[in-house]
A and B are shown apart, each in its own frame.
Chain A
Amino acid sequence: MGGEKEAVLAVCASDAGGVVYDINTGEKIVCIQDCVAPPHGLAFVDGFLLAASRTDKDQPIFGSAIYFWAPTKRKVKLIQYRQFHVFQFYSGIICQIKDSLLIFIYNNVSPQATEDVPEDSKVNFSMKNKNELLLPYGLKGIKEVQKSYVAEAIEPIACSKDGVFLVGGARSGHAYIWEIASGALLKRWRGHKTAISCLAFSQDTSLLISGSIDGTVCTWSMISLFQAEEPRPIEGTEIYLNFYNVKQNEHKASITGILTLLRSPCPILITSSLDGNCKVTELMSGILVQTISLSSSVTTIAVDPLEQFLLCGAGDAGIYVTVLNEIGTKNSRLTLSEDNCQILSGHRAPISALAFSSEGPRLVSGSQDRVILIWDTRTWQVIRKIENKMGGHITNLLVIPKGAISTVHQGRNSLAVKFPKLDKICKPTNETMTFLRPSQFSDNPVSFQSSNLLAEQILDLEEKRTPEAVEMIIAMNTRDKVKNQTIAKELVNMNMLVQGQVFDVMDAGADED
């Protein structure tokens, strides 16, 4: 189960920063100092990077910044293990530590207090000498590794599914798109008249959807986006239709959530707004399929991994659940009200974030009163309740693999990890940094050739096909010929000898006669 190995990252709007919890036990795994983000301002990039934009510390001179977070290594320390108190005995190779404290055993000391040590704090250590250990110590953690200054304060950010592009939206309505690998700012354009509140990529990265606080939603084709010279949205050039304004289903208030579903006949776009509506439209045609109207504002939306349910977190602290797979069938209605929805209530303040675990058995919800609930989606029961004591209300929830926080990336190659600085200005580049690793399946591994070659050459020899084979045969034949010649010579000699003897005998006979 993938869900077993996942953790929740909760990030707040102000102060203290983010906390990583275990999704099953609700235990706090690690705190991330100072990791603060506005709503939609958190992205998990390519399994190793957390980028959060923050606006609370705006420095007018520098503009704003996008922060990069990454797990940091533990330090390694040489420890003489006599110094340490011993709690618990484990196998010879794995020992456990907690808070830099080595838990180890002598054979002659009886084990004492058994503490619950989190699974992942088991570490490998290596014996240096008889009484010494090389041991990683210190809490592993996620630290800010780099910050990139950008032209203006970026609020929502989104990252493409393959981790190639990062897009950010500013209060001015400008949108920025970077290539993460190189940090190059590929495009800056005016997306909306008002502040951009939400951004999302389509599942195949070919479309970008943006929503603003005035309720407009735009779909951008990535291809024409890069091509257009003007840094503002173009409502359909002669060549390319690149801009769909989803007008007939315009929202009246700020967009709070954008989701895309890869439905088989046509992809689906779901947008939610503070005006209390959640609209389901066909992504390509913009046809409105369903509207879910709630009496209170929709603050966040989520869809489970199987795309069966749509969950709307509302301002009245309820989570409204509707079934998605009826859309397009006779049973679906154009508009649904909250009477048609199942309500999950457990929060006491407006819902601010929702997240599913990757395989769907867990739902995590966060509210503005700093409470995080973990639900079991099979029974829809709350299985854990976490009160996040530090910080303000929860703005972002992410479910990330546990490995991402415990293993330090060595980079994707032998060279050091590079955290690219995001460019502040857009400049055309001739080259694109990329990883070439497409041929994992097509590339033939080197293999043994001899036996095939031998089989082939045997055939060659039999049929005298190639000059080399002929050469070999000649060599063999020459040898045979030499051999035969010597034999022949010997035979001749013997013959002569015998003949001589015969003659001798005959002569002798004649003499006798």
Chain B
Amino acid sequence: MAGAGGFLAGVNDPWLKLRLGGGGGGRRPKPGGALPPAELATVLDAVRTHGLLTERLPGTHDPKLAEAWRAAVDAWVERIGELVQSDMPCSRWLGICFLGLTFQECSNERFAESYSNWFEKILSNLQGPSSEQLVIIVSCTSMSDLFVRMARCLNLKKEASSFAGRVVEPVLLLLNGNGPVANEAVDLLRTVIKLYPSSVNRHYNKVESSIATNVMSSEVNVKLKEKFVRALASLPSVRVSEESWSLMIQKILIVVNNLLNDAFFGLEEEKKGHEILMLLVPPGNDPPPLLGDQTKWSGGNVHVTKKFRVYTVPTISALIHCCCVMLTSYHPVQVNVPVRALIALTWRVLSVDGSLHRKLFPSTTSLHQELICFELPSLHSTFLDLLSSTIKGMRSQLLPHAANIVRLITKYFEIARLPTTRTKAYIIVQQLLTSMGVGISIHLLDAIVSNSVADLDDSCGQDMTSLSTKPTIVTNESSSKSYSKKRKQETDAQNLHVSGSEKTAISPKKRKNSSLSTTPETTADVRMLTPLSVKLAALETLEILLNVGGSLRTDHWRADVDLLLINIARSACDTGRRYEHKLPSTVGETSIADFQLASLKALLASFLSSHTRPPYLAQGIELFRRGKLEIGTKLAEFCSHALLALDVLTHPRALPLECVVPSGPGLTFGAPEKATFGTEKYKFSLSGNQSQALEDDDPYDDWLTPTTVGEPTGSPAKDNPVGKERATEMSQGERQSTPVGEHQQTDTAMSPADIQDVPTSGKSDTEMADVATTETANPETKDGTFSSNAASTPVRTVLPDLNQQVAAPAFEEGHADPVDHLQNIPSAVDAPLTGGKSDDSDVESEDSMPGIVDGDPDSD
């Protein structure tokens, strides 16, 4: 333990604090002495880092130290007191600043001692008529901090309330000034409203009118307006009653509705505004008093065009933003939300697309229309926010109105072309899906799939569209595609020049890559068709749709979407890697990294929500593995999560049930011979070793075999969960089940052979080109095998006979000597070019085996 004069024990020695505080005496601000700002920053930093004012002694109590420390802080407080009362603005500023710091740091006892003294000091500075702006600003902040600190002392509640009451009036005076003073003043007002709402009650009307005037003023800047909006939104909590909140939102919506009447004159039906007013103020009820002081902000004699841009639209935005805040923040009592009016108002704005209404009004000028079309995106965006807040605030209580919203948003997608509005529309769809679950996904499915596919498609080209048109016969499609690919391979192998007619048949990725070698710019152009932010939103929407309603009418859309997602994820990851230096993320836009992350997230959702075995699992896992290596990025973090989640798919496991049903003797069970549980495999008995019983079961079969059809009657693999032997057994099983597939081609359930076919086609789409065009030094054995296999596997599905002929020898080989393939690998790079299909088809089957995916061939 260090003494008062000796060396310190270390950085945690409390004496250090004292010495800093005491030694800092030299640096302690003195009245009159103008300290350079840099020096002040050191003092501030020292106080905060070392907790010089806390007077909290860790560990053992040392009276000497405590006494010394107290004296030091006493001196500090005294010095600050002098500073605050100094006649120099600089000293006052400094004093008040450090006083605020003291509130934050000092001990409870010290605070309780002198809070009222401090309050008076700050208040006098706050009211001081001739004070410098900076002094007023810091006074507001310090005052706010004083209230925050007082709120933590429960016994000071009464005093704090009375203090708060005294502060309100001076603050209202400050609000009318613009700039930073009003900024800090409104912060102080918000603190008071939030912490001591009852003290504002007396001044309620004055406060409301003052804030409302500022909100609707055209002179207040945007940032400050935002603060006023928040203050206005928190105002209803001053009067804790059911009506205050409803009254406020009613007033706001009436003002907005009236403003819209002017704005949309001639662009919509005349009665719309009136209808909404009827919803807000039912016939027979008195309209509420007007919001704020309406005379001040009527726009004066500004020219009508300027008024619209400078006054009408910003006011609407601010007021609607206020509604959003009100809807999404806590209110202590139950409130009446005018849902119908909110939705009707949103309908009203979002259905205006700038075109003239049928009945042309003589007063409508083309200038007016121009003005509105100019401002329409911002209005739409504002009201989309309102819709989003309504969804957030109402949660499942919105269900009775959900049909309306679904119609609205589906319709809105047709006119939403700009990136901002389209992104917001997607976000609303996401919120609807999250809050209303599978029920709403029934209604939104078509809209989401068609819109997001359209948005995401441009980077993936024509091949996609040919797939999406006839999704039900996807296997045939893919097979025909692979046919063309097979031809392609051969032509590629011979010469890399692709003729124009064939160009349409190749996958977009491939095309992109092949064109890359000559003109890299074209890729960038394609990518720019739909902004990245919209694509990102579309991806996120698809992800949520898959999570929520992934099993819904799967035959209509899942095949397309799964394929789309794997293609996007692959192209996103490739592009990211290759072009990061060439295409730095566009300024203020979504970066490619976000897009990559979103594409991988959607891909994971597609895998996990899949009803059958996910067709592109192997390719996806490869992507996740690669992503995992990007250490330190969000992508890597997510990829490791994804691999964890997918582990259940790749290495299926039958977890033992948590509860075991024993058939003990003393129990009240009926017939003891019925103590078998479920199927015969799960034996639950007191004596039976359960884990043993579960090991006997081959969990892999559970996964590969569909529920209703094609149950292979063959013997399941036994007791050898590792290595290739099982893979070969599986290929046996595959062979057995192939005839079943023949008879049930129309069935949606896929036999294992089918399941493995699809990935190969998807994989080969892209990977083929990689091998062909980009010179990879490292022989990507896996890619090679995949693409080569693509040629053979589709044949199986379409022409089963051929399949038998082609596939059977391959499997035989695999069965006989699995090690061979590992030896084959070095030559596998050439395989796609030479079309050595029979050699590698079984390697492919291994690759999609769970036990082998993380095996050596592709681990590097």
Q: What is A's interface to B at a CB cutoff of 8 Å?
A: 160, 162, 164-165, 179, 181, 186-187, 202-207, 221-224, 226-227, 239-241, 264-267, 282-285, 289, 304, 306, 308-309, 318, 321-323, 325-334, 339-346, 360, 377-382, 412-415, 429-440, 442-443, 446-451, 453-455, 457-459, 461-462, 466-469, 471-472, 475-476, 479-480
Instruction: Report B136-153 CB contacts with A as 1/0, cut-off 8 Å.
Output: 011001101101110100
What chain A residues lie within 8 Å of B392 (beta carbons)?
438
The one of B180, B550, B552 in contact with A468, judged by C-beta atoms closer than 8 angstroms, is B180
24 A-B interface contacts by CB (under 8 A) = A162-B395, A164-B396, A204-B438, A207-B438, A223-B440, A226-B401, A241-B442, A264-B608, A318-B670, A340-B679, A342-B684, A345-B670, A379-B662, A430-B279, A435-B334, A439-B328, A443-B330, A453-B141, A454-B98, A457-B97, A457-B138, A462-B38, A472-B90, A472-B134
Contacts of A433 in B (CB 8 A): 334-337
CB of A221 to closest CB in B, whole Å: 5
The answer to whether A430 touches B282 (Cβ under 8 A) is yes
* 1/0 contact string of B323-350 vs chain A (CB within 8 Å): 0001111111111111111000000000
Interface centre among B138, B659, B674, B682 (most CB of A within 10 A): B659
Q: Specify which of B100, B104, B331 is in contact with A436 (CB 8 Å cutoff).
A: B331
Q: Which residues of A contact B550 (CB under 8 A)?
A: 265-266
A46 to B584 alpha-carbon distance, docked (Å): 52
Does chain A have a CB within 8 A of B705?
Answer: yes
Besides A223-B439, A430-B341, A448-B103, 17 more A-B contacts (Cβ < 8 Å) are A164-B399, A186-B400, A202-B438, A207-B438, A223-B406, A265-B609, A329-B707, A331-B697, A413-B333, A430-B338, A434-B393, A436-B326, A438-B395, A449-B144, A450-B99, A451-B104, A462-B37
Contacts of B703 in A (CB 8 A): 329
Q: How many A-B residue pairs have CB under 8 A?
A: 328
Q: How far is the CA of A467 from the CA of B133 in the complex (A)?
A: 9
Among the listed stretches B187-195, B254-262, B374-382, B615-623, which one makes contact with chain A, having 4 or more residues with CB under 8 Å of it? Answer: B187-195
- The residue that A207 contacts in the complex, of B439, B658, B679, with Cβ under 8 A, is B439
Q: Are A475 and B330 in contact (CB under 8 A)?
A: no
Q: Is there an interface contact between A265 and B145, defined as CB atoms closer than 8 Å?
A: no
B610 within 8 Å of A (CB atoms): yes
> Is there contact, CB below 8 Å, between A440 and B330?
yes
Once the chains are docked, how many angstroms separate the CA of A205 from the CA of B548?
13
CA distance A279 to B409 in the complex (A): 37
Contact of A326 among B141, B395, B608, B678 (CB under 8 A): B678
Q: Which 10 A-B pairs have the closest CB atoms?
A: A206-B439, A450-B100, A204-B437, A266-B551, A227-B403, A329-B702, A323-B678, A431-B336, A226-B400, A345-B670
B97 → A minimal CB distance (Å):
4
User: How many chain B residues have a CB neighbour from A under 8 Å?
Assistant: 119
Known: A223-B403, A223-B443, A448-B148. A202 touches B437 (CB 8 A): yes
B4 near A: Cβ within 8 Å?
no
- Whether A446 lies near B191 (C-beta < 8 A) is yes
Q: Does B393 contact A431, Cβ atoms closer than 8 Å?
A: no
Q: How far is the CA of A224 from the CA of B440 in the complex (A)?
A: 9
Q: Are A450 and B395 closer than 8 Å at their CB atoms?
A: no
Q: Within the complex, which residue of B279, B659, B670, B708 is in contact with A308, where a contact is CB–CB below 8 Å?
A: B659
**B40 nearest in chain A by CB position:** A458
Give the docked Cα–Cα distance between A137 and B545 (Å): 55
Say whether B677 faces chain A, with CB atoms less than 8 Å apart. Answer: yes
Complex Cα distance, B179 from A283, in Å, reads 59
Are A226 and B145 also in contact (CB < 8 A) when A345-B668, A458-B40, A462-B38 are? no
Q: How far is the CA of A341 from the CA of B553 in the complex (A)?
A: 33
CB-based contact B394/A289 at 8 Å: no
Measured between C-beta atoms, what is the minimum distance from B335 to chain A in Å? 6
Nearest chain-B residue to A263 (Cβ)? B551
Q: Which of A379, A432, A475 is packed against the most chain B CB atoms within 10 Å? A: A432
The CA-CA distance from A344 to B671 in the complex, in Å, is: 10
Could you say which residues of chain A place their CB within 8 Å of the CB of B395?
A: 162, 164, 438
Give the CA-CA distance A458 to B98 in the complex, in Å: 12
Contact in complex: B701, A436 (CB < 8 Å): no
Are the C-beta atoms of A458 and B44 separated by less than 8 Å? yes
CA distance A282 to B611 in the complex (A): 11
How distant is A352 from chain B, measured CB to nearest CB, in Å?
A: 18
B336, A480: Cβ atoms under 8 Å?
no
Chain A residues within an 8 Å CB radius of B327: 436
- B48 contacts across to A, CB distance below 8 A: 451
Interface string of B50-89 (1 = CB under 8 A from A): 0000000000000000000000000000000000000011
Q: Cβ of B742 < 8 Å from any Cβ of A?
A: no
> Given A162-B396, A328-B707, A436-B329, A450 and B661 touching (CB < 8 A)?
no
Q: When A321-B661, A446-B194 are in contact, do A206 and B438 touch as well, CB less than 8 Å?
A: yes
Chain A residues near B104 (CB-CB < 8 A):
448, 450-451
Are B90 and A432 within 8 A (Cβ)?
no
Q: How far is the CA of A438 from the CA of B395 in the complex (A)?
A: 9
Q: Is the CB of A472 within 8 A of B132?
A: yes
A282 to B326, CA, bound (A): 40
Question: CB-CB < 8 A to B658: which residues of A?
Answer: 306, 308, 360
- Bound-complex Cα distance A453 to B142 (A): 10
Whether A454 lies near B89 (C-beta < 8 A) is no
Question: Does B367 count as interface, using CB distance less than 8 angstroms?
Answer: no
Q: Does B397 lie at the interface of the complex (its beta carbon under 8 Å from any beta carbon of A)? A: yes
- Residues of chain B in range 358-414 having any CB-CB distance to chain A below 8 Å: 392-397, 399-404, 406-407
Bound complex: CA of A409 vs CA of B764, how far in Å? 64
B90 & A476 in contact (Cβ 8 Å cutoff): yes
B residues bordering A, Cβ < 8 Å? 34, 37-38, 40-41, 44, 48, 88-90, 93, 97-101, 103-104, 132-134, 137-138, 141-142, 144-145, 147-149, 151, 179-180, 184, 187, 190-191, 194-195, 240, 245-246, 279, 282, 326-341, 392-397, 399-404, 406-407, 436-440, 442-443, 549-553, 608-611, 657-662, 664, 667-671, 674-679, 681-682, 684, 697, 701-703, 705, 707-708, 711
Residues of chain B with a CB closer than 8 A to A457's CB: 93, 97, 134, 137-138
Is B438 in contact with A434, judged by CB distance below 8 angstroms? no
Given contacts A345-B670, A446-B191, A469-B134, contact A432 B339 (CB under 8 A): yes
Query: Do the beta carbons of A332 and B669 come within 8 Å of each other?
Result: no
The answer on a CB contact under 8 Å between A450 and B138 is: yes
If A265-B551, A331-B681, A343-B671 touch, whether A240 touches B443 (CB-CB below 8 Å) is: yes
Q: Return chain B residues, CB-CB under 8 Å to A207.
A: 438-439
Measured between alpha carbons, how far is A459 from B44 in the docked complex, in Å? 12
CB-based contact B333/A458 at 8 Å: no
Interface residue from A202, A227, A309 paired with B439 (Cβ < 8 Å): A202
On chain B, the residues within 8 Å of A329 by CB distance are: 702-703, 705, 707
Supposing A206-B437, A304-B659, A436-B329 touch, asked if A343 and B674 sit within 8 A by C-beta, the answer is yes
Give Cα A433–Cα B282 distance, bound, in whole angstroms: 17
Q: B659 touching A438 by the CB < 8 A rule?
A: no
Query: In the complex, are the beta carbons of A221 and B443 less than 8 A apart?
Result: yes
Instruction: Give the residue name and chain of the A residue nearest to B250 (CB).
Output: A431
Bound-state Cα–Cα, A342 to B671, Å:
9
Minimal Cβ-Cβ distance residue in B for A418: B334
Q: Is the CB of B668 within 8 A of A382?
A: yes
Q: In the complex the two chains form, what is the Cα distance from A443 to B326 in whole Å? A: 12
- Whether the Cβ atoms of A475 and B133 lie closer than 8 Å is no
With CB as the reference atom, state the residue of chain A lying closest to B336: A431
Check if B37 sits within 8 Å of A458, measured CB to CB: yes
CA–CA, A459 to B41, complex, Å?
9
Q: Are A205 and B396 in contact (CB under 8 A)?
A: yes
> Complex formed: what's the CA distance from A471 to B179 in Å?
14
Contacts of B664 in A (CB 8 A): 379, 381
CB contacts (< 8 Å) of B681 on chain A: these are 331
Q: Verify B708–A334 contact, CB threshold 8 A.
A: yes
Smallest Cβ-Cβ distance to B94: which chain A residue = A454
A434 to B104, CA, bound (A): 37
Chain A: minimal CB distance from B524 (Å): 38
Q: Are B328 and A415 in contact, CB atoms less than 8 angstroms apart?
A: no
Complex CA–CA separation, A329 to B679 (angstroms)? 11
A471 and B132 contact, Cβ closer than 8 Å, known pairs A342-B675, A446-B194: yes
